[in-house]
Amino acid sequence: MKTNKFLRICIIVLLVVINVGCDQVSKSIVRKNIDAYEHIELIDDNLILTKVENTGAFLSAGGTLPEPIRNVLLSLVPALVLVGALSYAFFNQSLKTSALIGLCFIIGGGIGNVFDRIKYGSVTDFLHIQLGWFETGIFNMADVSIMIGFGLLLLQYFRKSEIPQEN
């Protein structure tokens, strides 16, 4: 039984580290090789690299707040939430595999962005997708991890709600 708990903890740590690592490596490459607001087309005009430093949260929300308030709302509070989520992942043995993986992706992406805020004062965003009428804001690999994680959690939620209740 202790081996299963140890293996579970190792898998959680590995998933989180892989997500943080992919995020930080990609941001490091972008910081070193792409100028601010440089426009590099990867797939025609559909996938574009363009480096921006985001001092706010999603779509720059909160970026104009005074620095002490911004630091608390965008660094300290998320860091505390991530510690809580990581504790939940470690100790909630009833989490289904897809939910646990989703939670690890969210935690890894969150750590990547919080790390940037603490170290650089902003988050490096660099990916932009434009496919006909569909267009994203500029985002990074941490954001991709977070979205995949939420997708897995939603999938688990809807699977659970499809199970008929016995009376």
Q: Is 137 helix (H, G, I), strand (E, B) or coil?
A: coil
Residue with the larger pLDDT of the pair 167 and 3: 3
On the 0-12 / 13-18 / 19+ scale of CB atoms within 10 A, 110 is buried
45 an active-site residue? no
DSSP conformation class of 139: B
Q: Which of 23, 35, 45, 143 is catalytic?
A: 143
pLDDT tens profile 38-67: 989 988 889 999 999 988 776 566 666 667
Q: Which of 44, 45, 116, 125 is catalytic?
A: 125
Per-chain mean pLDDT for the chain? 88
pTM above threshold 0.85: yes
